[in-house]
């Protein structure tokens, strides 16, 4: 009996030990599962664009830093800009995220400035022109990746039929208007079957450039939009002469590919997309005309910017996020690939003489006036909508121009009065050459 009891006690003792070990194992497993992707060496990156490009960045970085994991999460464009601020506000957003100047007003309060011990301000200042116009409260939240400026794309075969080539392109807006008229074709019923020129999808950018060429910035010194002015009215009248049959609102690069138009105003991004989707089409590019040889500012410009860091990122991951961004903005091969893919003139000064940039015809055209192009600041998307409505009213709904300008001015002033937006036009050297400040 004693022997049986003794055996039973030993059995129960071993059973208890086994149970204790099993519980401990489960706890460890749960801990690993809990931490999962939240370890200090794992970063989450959100983007609505360029996933393949960013996968290349991650692959190149992880080759040198195999202990760092970067997970890319893709969203649609529409979903992204509503979901991102909400996720960051709740503290559940990504560590790194795609930024766009249109939406900086929505995301900057949830963003962490770059760490100056890793991304040094003096090095950034040495590598980018007018970089001070991008600082926010003297902190760096992004650097320019590439600039978009206007170009004119044209159907080379249509030009050849008229005896034009890349050496005798129009130098003034008057010459461009005359050329556009020559290329118009109509059927026997008088319906236009081919337009000479279009700026569809680029109305806002073109009116800004025409205003700049006439010596007027986009904003007053007090940050009030310059919309309801005689200069804007003249610019829109010029646009009416360039395209007096504004019925097709399909983007200009697409109209060009479809053979409906001979010339189209667009950004380098439009040209890059055209060549990607229609690789066999013969399309040339030329610089935009000028009002005269004395213009101080030839073009407005917008840009692509580097990734943002969430202010809610875990302390252990901040240095990893900064090191990844530093790796990208200092990797000239990746930046060159980015510029070519996006059709965006490289912002980093050291790239301008690289053969892949210097021998690229798009960048040769953009480079001829990139230093006379002005970036007005991170204009919020709500203000862009004002211009969208303005052109919709005057070009499609045939609203009286003076009334449309007056209404747009009022709406724009209401918007800027409610946001913390400061234009940066006055930080350019040639700002003083503008006459109607």
The pLDDT, as a whole number, for residue 74 is 97
Euclidean distance between CA atoms 349 and 124, whole angstroms: 10
The pLDDT, as a whole number, for residue 8 is 39
**pTM, full prediction:** 0.88
The pLDDT, as a whole number, for residue 289 is 97
The pLDDT, as a whole number, for residue 92 is 86
The pLDDT, as a whole number, for residue 40 is 75
Check: CB of residue 379 under 8 Å from CB of residue 101.
yes
Euclidean distance between CA atoms 276 and 270, whole angstroms: 10
CB atoms within 10 A of CB 217: 22
Query: Minimal CA–CA distance to 207: which of 404, 422, 426, 432?
Result: 404
The yes/no answer on whether domain 39-142+306-368 falls in CATH 3.40.190.10 is: yes
**CB neighbour list of residue 31: distance below 8 Å, 6 or more residues apart:** none
Beta bridge partners of 310: 111
Domain boundaries, the chain: 39-142+306-368, 148-301+373-433
Q: Measure the CA angle with vertex 343, ends 337 and 345; round to 5°.
A: 85
The pLDDT, as a whole number, for residue 363 is 97
Intervals of the chain under pLDDT 70: 1-39
The pLDDT, as a whole number, for residue 176 is 97
Are the folds of 39-142+306-368 and 148-301+373-433 the same? yes
Options 1.25.40.10, 3.40.47.10, 3.40.190.10, 2.130.10.10; CATH for 148-301+373-433 is 3.40.190.10
The pLDDT, as a whole number, for residue 30 is 32
The pLDDT, as a whole number, for residue 38 is 53
Check: CB of residue 413 under 8 Å from CB of residue 224.
yes
Please classify residue 395 by burial: count the beta carbons closer than 10 Å to its beta carbon, then call 0-12 exposed, 13-18 middle and 19+ buried. Answer: buried
Longest dimension (CA), the chain: 117
Write the DSSP string, 212-263. HHTT--SB-TTS-B--SSHHHHHHHHHHHHH-S-TT--S-HHHHHHTTSEEE
Q: Is the dihedral of CA 244, 246, 251, 255 positive or negative?
A: negative
Beta bridge partners of 153: 264, 285
Euclidean distance between CA atoms 378 and 105, whole angstroms: 8
Check: CB of residue 64 under 8 Å from CB of residue 93.
no
Euclidean distance between CA atoms 105 and 102, whole angstroms: 8
């Amino acid at each position: 009996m004693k022997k049986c009891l003794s055996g039973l006690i030993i059995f129960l003792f071993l059973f208890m030990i086994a149970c204790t070990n099993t519980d401990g194992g489960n706890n460890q497993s749960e801990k690993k599962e809990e931490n999962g992707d939240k370890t200090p060496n794992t970063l989450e990156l959100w983007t609505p664009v360029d996933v393949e490009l960013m996968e290349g960045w991650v692959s190149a970085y992880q080759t040198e830093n195999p202990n760092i994991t970067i997970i890319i999460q893709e969203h649609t464009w529409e979903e992204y800009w509503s979901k991102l601020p909400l996720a960051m506000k709740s503290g559940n957003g990504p560590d790194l995220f795609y930024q766009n100047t249109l939406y900086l007003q929505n995301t900057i309060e949830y963003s962490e400035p770059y760490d100056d011990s890793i991304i040094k301000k003096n090095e950034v200042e040495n590598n980018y022109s007018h970089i001070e116009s991008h600082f926010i409260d003297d902190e760096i939240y992004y650097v320019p990746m590439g600039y978009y400026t206007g170009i004119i794309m044209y159907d080379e075969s249509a030009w050849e039929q008229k005896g034009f080539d890349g050496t005798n392109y129009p130098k003034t807006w008057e010459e461009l208007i005359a050329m556009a008229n020559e290329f118009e074709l109509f059927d026997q019923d008088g319906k236009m079957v081919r337009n000479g020129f279009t700026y569809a999808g680029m109305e806002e950018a073109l009116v800004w450039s025409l205003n700049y060429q006439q010596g007027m910035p986009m904003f007053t010194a007090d940050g009030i939009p310059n919309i309801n002015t005689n200069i804007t009215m003249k610019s829109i009248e010029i646009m009416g002469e360039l395209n007096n049959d504004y019925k097709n609102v399909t983007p200009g690069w697409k109209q060009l590919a479809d053979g409906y138009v001979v010339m189209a105003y667009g950004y380098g991004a439009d040209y890059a997309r055209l060549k990607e989707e229609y690789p066999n089409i013969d399309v040339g590019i030329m610089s935009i005309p000028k009002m005269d040889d004395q213009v101080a500012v030839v073009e407005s410009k917008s840009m692509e910017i580097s990734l943002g860091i969430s202010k809610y990122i875990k302390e252990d991951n901040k240095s990893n996020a900064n090191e990844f961004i530093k790796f990208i903005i200092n990797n000239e091969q990746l930046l060159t690939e980015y510029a070519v893919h996006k059709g965006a003139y490289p912002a980093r000064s050291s790239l301008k003489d690289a053969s892949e940039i210097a021998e690229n015809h798009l960048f040769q055209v953009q480079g001829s006036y990139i230093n006379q192009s002005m970036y007005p600041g991170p204009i919020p998307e709500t203000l862009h909508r004002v211009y969208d409505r303005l052109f919709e009213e005057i070009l499609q709904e045939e609203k009286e121009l003076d009334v449309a300008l007056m209404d747009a001015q009022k709406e724009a002033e209401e918007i800027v009065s409610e946001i913390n937006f400061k234009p940066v036009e006055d930080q350019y050297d040639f700002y003083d050459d503008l006459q109607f400040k």
